[in-house]
A and B are shown apart, each in its own frame.
Chain A
């Protein structure tokens, strides 16, 4: 039993099967769901991907980044250039968007990750502002006028497949050797280094994967809205993603997913409040933090709870407390 479960081939086949099933379900849903709800589903998917990336950086590895929307914009513009200017197919565009963001994540990561805590936060914030200013002044991106003529290529199955794949990869990563090393970096850098964890390497790794996610999210965003401008990726956008991660429970994958779903749908639920919507949104953030400072699922180990429910608790190692 155990051997079968640990066989990589079985895992890969299972993974592919799950993706196919997701695709088929999404295909079915996109036929029967009202367009309004379906559209919200698009943004839930994009935001889950974005937030999972940030969760790896800020939640799992403990590096506070306030520049997540910059990586999103790099992915969005790179993919738009790929599909519009270079006439490449959409999947290549998504991949290029992710890779471009990933590349910048690494380039930025090397010098700035020497900084710790809030210094890193302000450095990433500064980086995001610089990226926005550069996109505003570049020719190929259309400057402030924006990037025109992107085709509406994002479909619900594409978003759902990528979301589920991203969740699976993140869960796998969390339990892998790398994931544990990242957790160790978060808990205590000095202790981690003293037992031989190369902290810079794992920080860069988290930054690279997190930025890749942001790039993919950006590519999907660009091909959903069909038109992007530098103002779409401002400071408040980065903050939105951070809110999703922290609201759900920093470092918790199910928490991040719930946080993204809640905050993406919140504006729609709050719509009846008309002008007071943002007022209430601000208040909700404060009240949430006062009552559940570790997020909705903070301190709650999903895996452990499930396995306990299935009487398998003893065999699963206890995860790190968030």
Chain B
């Protein structure tokens, strides 16, 4: 009955093919920061927490690209305080138990000086609890939800918060554009979308607009024909979608297909990605989003970053890459200013960061070390490019 030859052959084949794949597509991975400089000083260790595989890997990998880019840049300039920077990457697959294990590993086994991640609000809350209780700085380069920095003095983030930008955007489209009848689309299984949509809704009411149709989708959906058919029947002035670029592009394709030729979509910085245009093509022309920086009138810092990033990665950085880069650089600056890589010391310097000109916008930490990015830019897609529509200053308090 037992035929060892067959089974051995099969599994050998499987292992061989795995080896081929591993060697075949290797090269792009590998830990950054261990570039062969013979440094006698102990390196400064930064842990990257985020998903590299699984459904949420887009955000994690985006972050990671930006962080790696920053680490390479730092190391070329001689590191931080003369120490090389070593990046330790671990994949949490977007799962809480994994994120908890990794955070503990970073702090107690690897003895990292700071953690960057997770791009998801939920995982940042979970990892933030642990990092804060063990006096390690954690900075999320993607989370926008509430109850994050309140966890404690070691928890930071560098993202543009919806609570400021979303009302400014709604004010603009209702009062300046005169679009009062609004159709909203909310991605029900995305905490980002539900969160930002609530802010949008409040702002619409405050500015005298009205939500005449509300449709629900889910992240990962691809068929929006039913929702778009209903929106067409409701005949709104504008579509407000708090969500990410993938779904936005697909919705807009459908919107144009059913004959709503001129209607615009307005959303948050989740829409800001080269992929919006890549997937949506000409259908996304007219899409408006808010953002922390303008690709049209970039500051020299942003422009330099975008060019260098494009030269290295053969693509423009997305929002997560830019935020990841800034997170690494702000931490590096705080360490340098504090003249210490000890989180207990540099966290206070970090909290006092004011008007830091990052590549994703100008970053200031308020008294409660919550992040504020000012000014907010309103951008509109025109012929496949994001163009500046308006610059809205934000009060820094």
Contact = CB atoms under 8 A, between A and B. Distances in A.
A8 interface: no
Nearest to A222: B96
B29 A274 contact: yes
B135 interface: no
B186 to A, nearest CB: 9
A226 B129 contact: yes
Contacts of A4: none
B90 A225 contact: no
Interface in B162-201: 188-191, 193-195
B89 A227 contact: no
* Secondary structure class of chain A's binding surface, majority of residues: helix
A290 B8 CA distance: 10
B108 A225 contact: no
Nearest to A229: B122
A276 B22 contact: yes
B101 A43 contact: yes
Contact of A36 (B54, B89, B105, B147): B105
B91 A274 contact: yes
Interface in B193-216: 193-195
A299 interface: no
B97 A278 contact: no
Contact of A290 (B11, B22, B29): B11
A60 B97 CA distance: 28
Interface residues on A, range: 35 or more
Interface string B77-108: 00000000000011101111110110011011
A152 B109 CA distance: 22
B126 interface: yes
B394 interface: no
Contacts of A34: 108-109
A246 to B, nearest CB: 18
Given A145-B145, A267-B98, A271-B90, A230 B189 contact: yes
Given A34-B109, A290-B10, A39 B100 contact: yes
B45 interface: no
Interface string B105-146: 101110000000000001001100100001000000000010
A148 B109 contact: no
Given A39-B100, A227-B125, 14 more contacts: A35-B108, A39-B104, A43-B101, A136-B188, A143-B188, A144-B191, A144-B194, A224-B97, A225-B126, A226-B126, A226-B129, A227-B126, A231-B94, A278-B93
Q: What 7 pairs across the A-B complex have the smallest Cβ distances?
A: A36-B104, A225-B96, A145-B191, A39-B104, A144-B194, A35-B108, A36-B105
